[in-house]
Structure 1
């Protein structure tokens, strides 16, 4: 998600121990926080939400999907007024990438998933200013949306620069998880792909650990990269350099991803961008 990593008060020191989630609570990949809209973004919301924002929540302010909703090809035809391939982006941030993609690829449909009000409003603003017809926005928790997707409804899923959740005990909050991978695989049409990118080395290792051994997925990368084989947490990333390393397969930079301000900042900070292409096998 191309927004600043969430912060939360945590009086306990970071440690490698992973604490199991309470069985009555969902583990979320974001912290729900109020994001006040300035006057410009409020105008964008007022002007463009009716054109682009999907009404799929059970109640105002909810990030869940209402009971009975299904994102299938019939819904795509009714909503986008065509039967073009659907691309879903998880964590659209400020909307720079998905709006640029929609503008350059008018024969494809785009669905931007974002939870934060400012990101949603900015995406609405960019799409509205360009008068785009092939993009929609859903303010929804991504795993809940994919549970409501029909089999094979999407051609591609994109997850670019998700929140890294750097503390070891928060790694369970990372969006790339086996359960979501299963839902995305079911949602993809035959031969569909999940494209992922991160500028955090430890997250790249996490992606490999989750995805490379999963049945039904094929890593389409052609580049060999060396990564540490152990995880590090916030404040001790420098320890990774002395860990044992192994070779992993990754992809060249996805040409369909524009160079956003977020990615520029990562490159300026000297970070290496890791791209992944996993194909439904």
Structure 2
């Protein structure tokens, strides 16, 4: 086997303990002041692009009773089309480029930081894109509120690695989110993940490779340390026991951003991982 059974057993144990709703968020609340250019973009384009999911002032949740189902999305986009969800869209370069290249698809970007959302609006507004919507929301709450099969594909590119060992529990990709997303995606739907942190790649494998709701579509062997390291201890990884894992070739729909370019310049390896929702033996998706 490519992935060591010890990691699978550990992941199963953690998954069973973490099926309840997560209360630890994967982001820090911080204010982001908009400069004049971004403030103008927000004023001009938020009505067209921004979905309001939480009526509370500065709320980042989803109102109780709101289900983000196909009907909600058809109303938001004004049509029915395959939907790609980007979890943590940053400055919006990837999702805007994809929406421009694929007008036959709809794209929904989730981001908590207003400057990033405003920059995404700026890019989208310049091209007059009509197949893109944004939401300022906690992704875990949004996906929990998503109806079964509401999404066709999900992207998580370069999530915050939370490098300190004591903060690893705050990493976005967790068993509870994987379970919710497996339900929210159509059968056969994909979750594309990229990171430039080796330890985060190990974390993703631990969460996803042992989960029977997901199939790892990777076809390239990558060697990773099988013990976690963190900020200040990453240099220990080379001397730790390693195992082979399956990862994917670079997703051609992911453009090279300045963020990724900096990682490459720093000598970090880019890990692309692709997982597909699969059916359990009874012919139905594994229940939530």
How high is the TM-score relative to the length of structure 2?
0.88
- 1:8-87 equivalent positions in 2, closer than 5 A: 26-87=23-84
Asked if residue 193 in structure 1 is aligned to residue 193 in structure 2, the reply is no
Which one has a larger percent helix, Structure 1 or Structure 2? 2
Q: Does 1:148 align with 2:134?
A: no
Q: Does 1:121 align with 2:118?
A: yes
Equivalent residues in 2 for 1:128-167 (5 A)?
128-167=125-164
Q: Distance in 2 between matches of 1:114 and 1:173?
A: 16
For 1:90 and 1:24, the matched residues in 2 are separated by: 18
Equivalent residue runs for 1:256-267 within 5 Å: 256-267=253-264
The alignment yields a C-alpha RMSD, in angstroms, of 1.3
Task: For residue 24 of structure 1, report the CA deviation from its aligned partner.
Answer: 11
- Quote the residue 2:173 is aligned against: 176
Within 1, Cα distance between the matches of 2:23 and 2:40? 33
- Alignment counterpart, residue 206 of structure 1, candidates 190, 193, 203: 203
Select the residue among 237, 249, 255 that pairs with 1:240: 237
Q: 2: CA distance between counterparts of 1:54 and 1:25?
A: 23
Match of 1:90 among 75, 80, 87: 87
| Deviation, structure 1 residue 25 | 8.7
Distance in 2 of aligned mates of 1:266 and 1:104: 26
User: Distance in 2 between the 1:217 and 1:115 partners?
Assistant: 27
Q: Which residue of 2 aligns with 1:16?
A: none
| Residue pair 2:100, 2:129 contacting (<8 A) in 1 also | yes
Q: C-alpha separation between the residues in 2 aligned to 1:258 and 1:71? A: 28
TM-score computed with the length of structure 1 as normaliser: 0.90
Count the aligned residue pairs: 259
Q: Give the conservation status (yes or no) of the 8 Å contact 1:58–1:67.
A: no
